[in-house]
Each structure stands twice: as structure tokens, then as C-alpha cells.
Structure 1
Amino acid sequence: MKFKVNKSVIYPVVSRISAVVDRKQTLDILGNLALELSGNALTITGTDNSRQLTNTLEVVGAGDGVVTVPAKKLSAILHALDNDSELSFTMSKDGSSVTLTAGKSRYKLATIDFTNFPKMEALVGTPASVSVEASRMAEMLMATSYAMARNDVRFFLNGLLLDIKNSVLSVVATDGHRLAKDYADVQCDADVSLQVILPREAVEVMESLLKGADSDVNIALGELSAEVSVGRYVFRTKLIDGKFPDYERVIPKDHPRSVTVDASEFSGALRRSLILANEQYRGVSLSLGEGTIKVDATNPQEETALETVGVESDSGEGELGIGLNGEYMLSAMRASKSGVVAMCFKDGNSPVVITDPGSDTHLSVVMPMRIGS
């Protein structure tokens, strides 16, 4: 097995796929990348037994073969070489090593037998398939993934819901204290109706793959796993086996008071107020008045912060006060594409709905919290 390829072709692929390999290396083979050469097609695969990422690129091949090499070491060597380096990879006759040559440089890497490489199986059952623009899918992940739980005992919250119904894909995340939702029309069979939960680690890989992609992303959903295809990359991931909460019941439908503010100005007020907020609970008080919204924070040392922001519009009258987690509000502000957000209130004890006037598909919900005196 031997092939030649330019660094500019192989390094970006090796670097990206190496991010998927098992960092803990519970098995030595999980720290390796699989290299499969067939003619002039080189397929590179990395896995941690729950996620698997593959890419096939064109090389100048001489002799088919398969081998696995240490991902971290190969990526580091490629990173250190000159960008225009012409590389030659040669597997030893006994398959125990691969030699990488670049100009006057030569590196010999130990291998592990490919037969021990745990490739993920194809999707079980008849998978449902949907197709959507990669840029739109990236927007939906960005607008929702921040609300995923982290290390929650309610394991089904540690991921992202994909809810497909009537040719519409809804993407939802919640940690029980906040919720984010976005949706888009997709190409799929009209009778497809299902929900699956992607693990947080899988969502992070998808976000990386979708950056700068200008094609459609195809998502095949099976009973136990999902397969995402973006360009030459094919990503497989196990799904979270659990039932996601009924998110529609969490989203308030009745919110008579709505104020519109500049997202950047309001975010600045939140960030400054949080400097003196309780370090554990990160709570702030919002007070709606005539044409303004005040952000107030305090802490056990009785230090205080008060910011006043002008509102662009207010659908109601009188004063309204509510306690909220300032960090959660900041995350919701970042999802705004138009630079303006609308905050919708029912009263001081009900969740706040945050929308973007420039987008009719995205919303966030933040639960109220009690702010100590």
C-alpha cells in the first residue's frame, strides 16, 4: 500500500476527523485513524465507538490496502510540515508500520491491525431521510444548541431534538430552565413523522462540518443511529434513547406585554450587570417602565449594579418586574440575526419568550427565578 498526496489535501481532513477519535483511548485502536486505499481513492475514518466520521479524497495510489495509524501523531506531523509539501505514505510489507516522507523528512509510525478497528454498522431498519440547505441547518444548530443540558441526570436533555412532521424539521434544546427552538421546511417523504435526540458530542461535530458548507446536508435517521452527509464527509452517531419533553407545552401562548430592544445594547447591559450578580445563581431583575427596561443585579456582599436601556417599542403600559438568569438571557440574545429582539411577558412569574423580529422561525424561552433580597 502506497500513495502520494499534497499536505493541503490531506491535512484538513485528518485534522477534522482526528477530533472524533476517542480522547480517553479506552482501547488503543480508538486512538487511530483507518486509512483504506482503493485505486486513487483514500478513505479516512475515525471513531470513538459512539461517533464515526469518514471522508474519501483523491490521491495517487499504488497498491490497495488498509491500515490504522495514530491520529494525534499523524495530525501533529502534518501540521508541522510546510503547507505545500508533497507527501508519500508507504506501508511496510508486514503492515506493522507506515512511513511518511516529505522532502528530506521521514517519519515512521507504528500501526494497529485494521481488523480490530470498530467501524459503526449501517443504520438499522428503514431510515427516514431529510435534506436541507447546510447553511440553514447551521443556523438552526447555532440558534438552539446553547440550551442543551450538560451532564444532567435526565440524560435525554443532554442533546438536541430533531422533530420531523409535515415536511418541517424542528430543532429543539432545553435544560429545564431555558428552551430554544428553530424550524425549517425540508425535503422528505410526506409521511415521515418522528423524533430523535442527537447527543451533545454529535451536535458539536455537525456544527464543525456545516461551517462554510455550500451544499445540502442529508440526514438519515434510523432506530438507533443517524447518518449525516455533508460534501465528502459522512458522519454517523448513536442516538440518545429517551423521550424528549413535550416542548410545545413549555412555550407560553399568552404573553400580552411585548417590548423590542436593540440586542447589542441590551446584551451590554446584561454583561455589565452580571459583574456584580450572585456568582452562583447569576440572577438579574428586569423592570419594565415607560419606554425603558432596567437591569438590576446584587450579590451577598450587597454590591449592586443598575443599567437602564431604552426600548424601541412597548405593547403595554405600567411597570412589570421579573427575575431571570442573566447568562441565559445573554445566550438568547446571541441567537438574534437582525440585531433586534422582542421579549414577551405575561407577568413576573411566567416564562419569558424571546423572538427575533427578523426571523419568524426562531424563539427562546427563559424560566423566571426568584432573586434574593
Structure 2
Amino acid sequence: MKLKVERGTLLKALAHVQSVAEKRNTIPILANVVLSARDAGAEGELVLTATDMEIAVLERIKADIARPGATTVPAAMLHEIVRKLPDGATVELSQAGTDAPLALRAGRFATSMNVLGVEDFPSMSTGTLPHRFVIQGAVLRALVDRTRFAISTEETRYYLNGIYLHVAAADAKSLGQGPMLRAVATDGHRLARVETELPEGAAEMPGVIIPRKTVLELRKLLDEIEDGVTVSLSETRIQFDVGDITLTSKLIDGTFPEYERVIPRDNASILRVGKRDFADAVSRVAAISQERSRPVKLALSKNLLVLSASSPDQGTASEELDEGRAQYDATPLEIGFQARYLNDITDQIDKDVEFAFSDGNAPTLVRDAGNPSALYVLMPMRV
């Protein structure tokens, strides 16, 4: 194998793949990236592949291929070396034979890296993916951003450790009237449900749970694309084609709970408040306590919201949002929520937040007043 590639192009691809490669494992080759040089010539292609056996990422970049071939080298080490090369450098990679070290040269810098054989690198490309649809990158990014904060990190309830993507019927406040593509995440304390119009080809897809790590890797890729993302899936595997990058992942083998049962339907006490006013007030009063789980209390009366928090060691804090900043015309109410959970939800809202309460002990429904595609459920804390 022998090739030349621009340092910036190679670095960008290595940044994508090295985060998937397992740095600590009992199978050494999982820490490596496959470098596969194809199509000899100035318009050749270098394909980089990494996997941890749960996720695989493949990226194609342009390279000047003098001699096709393939090998594997430690992903983190190669990324670090290329990262420290000067901007604009041309990286030359060459290998005399399949068992020989991989030589890297850039200007006057030279190094050689031990390799492992490509034949031992595992593949995740087995089986067909019968369901396929295209979704705009910005739309998929919104689905991920507005739900991922609610993914559970509790490993015992593994079926909550991801985003549930499925087809669902529209409800009364949905964007459309027909079936919708819906993303849901919950950790038992809060729930996020976001939907978009059903893409062509998605109607028959099974409901799938996309693992947390896959969600995080996918989100990194979505920052760099505005065009369509091709999604292919089966009941056990999902694949995202994002430009020149293919991300493949196993799905969580479990049953997502019947989340609709926890969404309140009859919460009639409505508070409407500006997102920025509310979020800033929550942050200020919560600063009195260093305990992440300490609640912020909301005391509501006609067009008045009083937020307060207290700490046995630090003291108390409160702030009022009066008429003009908070609209409420229902029975007076007191309810408490964890400050971090309130901020996680308000971060997803553009302008005005709408809270729908039943009483101080029941789940609260939260919506973006200007965006019917998303709703959130928040469990109260005792205050």
C-alpha cells in the first residue's frame, strides 16, 4: 500500500472513527482503524473503518493512491500523530508488505507503526436492512437534540438506554394528521417525545431503540451536513449514511415501555412563561444549593410565579416572575422539580414555555408554546 493524502482531510476522518475504536479492550484489533486504499490514481479513495462490535463507522476520503492495499493500525495513536502535524502538510503512508509496519512521512517527520492483519478485523455488514428512508439532516438533528437529554444511564433498565424511534398516530396537537415519525426517551423522572412528518419509505419500519453511544456518535456527524441522511434498518441493526460516512449500529434488544400511559391528558392548570426569564430564574435560585437533587419550588397564583430554593447549609433564595412575564389563571399551586431537569427541558424550547399542571404531586406536561412537535413530561419532587 502506498498513498498521499492531505493532512486536514485525514485528520477529520480520523476524528470520526477513532472515537468508536475501543481503546481499552481484550481484543487488540478493536483499538485499530482499517485503512483501505482503493482505485490507484490521483482520484483514488482511502476508506477508514473502526468498530467496537456494537457500532461501526466507515468514512471515504479522496487520496492519491500509488499502490492499493489495506492494513490496520492503532486509531488513537494515528489520530494523535496526524493532529500534531502542521496544517497543510501532505501525509504519505506506505507499507512494503502485509506484515510490514506502516510508514508515515510528512515533510521531514517520519514514523512507523506496527500493524495487525485486516483479515482479523470483525465485520458488522451481515444481514439485510429491508427498511429505508431519507430524512433531512436538520430534522434528524432536532429529533436527537430534543430527546437525548432524557436517555437513562441506569444500566439495569437497559431498554431505556437509548432513543425509541417508531411510527405513531398523530394526536390532537401534532404537526400533521397522518402517521408521524416519533422519537422518545425517558429515564423515569422525565420524558421527551418529539415527532416529525413520516418520511417516504418509513411506514412499515419496526419500532427500534437506538443505543446512547450510537446517538452521541450520530449527533457529531449531523453537525456537518444539511442534506438528506439515508436511514436503513432491520429489527436488530440500523445504518445512517451521512455524506461520505456510514454509521452502523446494533439496536437494543428490548421492549420500550408504553410511554403514552404516563403522559397526562387532563392537566388543566396552565402556566405560560418566557423561556429565558424562567431558565435564568431557575439558575439563580438553584445556585443557593450545591446538591444536584435539591428541588426548586414553584408557587403559582394569579399571574404570579415565585421560584424558591433552600439549603440547610447555604441559606435560601427566591425570585418572582409577575404579570407580563408569567401568565397563570387557575387554582393556586405549589410544586417542586429538580433544577437540572427543568433546565434540560427549557434548553429545548425556543421562546415560551407552557406548563400544564394537575396538582402538586402529579406529572406535569411541558410544551414549547410555538412548536407542537415536541412535548415533555416531568415528575415532581416533594417540597
What is the aligned counterpart of 2:228 among 216, 220, 241?
A: 216
Counterpart for residue 348 of structure 2: 335
SS in 2 for 1:140: helix
Is 1:115 the counterpart of 2:98? The answer is no
SS in 2 for 1:218: strand
Matched ranges for 1:307-318 at <5 A: 307-310=319-322, 312=325, 314=327, 316-318=329-331
Q: Deviations over 1:104-151 (max 9, x none)?
A: 1111111111111112133x3552222211011111111110001113
Counterpart for residue 322 of structure 1: 335
- Displacement of 1:155 after TM fit? 0.7
Matched ranges for 1:5-20 at <5 A: 5-20=5-20
Counterpart for residue 22 of structure 2: 22
SS in 2 for 1:153: helix
Q: Which moved more, 1:139-148 or 1:18-27?
A: 18-27
Stretches (4+) displaced over 6 A: none
SS in 1 for 2:216: helix
Matched ranges for 1:350-361 at <5 A: 350-361=362-373
Give the aligned CA root-mean-square deviation in angstroms.
1.7
CA separation of 1:260 and 1:109: change in aligned 2, threshold 3 A = same
Counterpart for residue 174 of structure 2: none
Counterpart for residue 73 of structure 1: 77
SS in 1 for 2:35: strand
What is the aligned counterpart of 1:345 among 357, 374, 382?
A: 357
Counterpart for residue 156 of structure 2: 153
CA separation of 1:27 and 1:276: change in aligned 2, threshold 3 A = same
Amino acid at match of 2:327: D
What is the distance in 2 between the residues matched to 1:190 and 1:297?
A: 46
SS in 2 for 1:84: coil
What is the aligned counterpart of 2:183 among 166, 171, 184?
A: 171
What is the distance in 2 between the residues matched to 1:126 and 1:32?
A: 26
Counterpart for residue 95 of structure 2: 91
Q: Is the 8 A contact 1:278 1:300 kept in 2?
A: no
Counterpart for residue 103 of structure 1: 107
Q: Is the 8 A contact 1:252 1:351 kept in 2?
A: yes
CA separation of 1:94 and 1:233: change in aligned 2, threshold 3 A = closer
What is the aligned counterpart of 2:68 among 58, 64, 78?
A: 64
Q: Deviations over 1:184-215 (max 9, x none)?
A: 11323364142100111000001101013111
What is the distance in 1 between the residues matched to 2:25 and 2:234?
A: 27
SS in 2 for 1:329: helix
Counterpart for residue 192 of structure 2: 180
Q: Deviations over 1:286-309 (max 9, x none)?
A: 111222211111234372221212
Counterpart for residue 204 of structure 2: 192
Q: Is the 8 A contact 1:257 1:314 kept in 2?
A: no
SS in 2 for 1:156: helix
Q: Is the 8 A contact 1:96 1:112 kept in 2?
A: no
Amino acid at match of 2:12: P
Report the TM-score, using the length of structure 2 for normalisation. 0.92
What is the distance in 1 between the residues matched to 2:284 and 2:201?
A: 49
Percent identity, aligned pairs only? 29
CA separation of 1:19 and 1:28: change in aligned 2, threshold 3 A = same
Q: Which moved more, 1:167-176 or 1:312-321?
A: 312-321
What is the distance in 2 between the residues matched to 1:86 and 1:212?
A: 23
What is the distance in 1 between the residues matched to 2:78 and 2:203?
A: 46
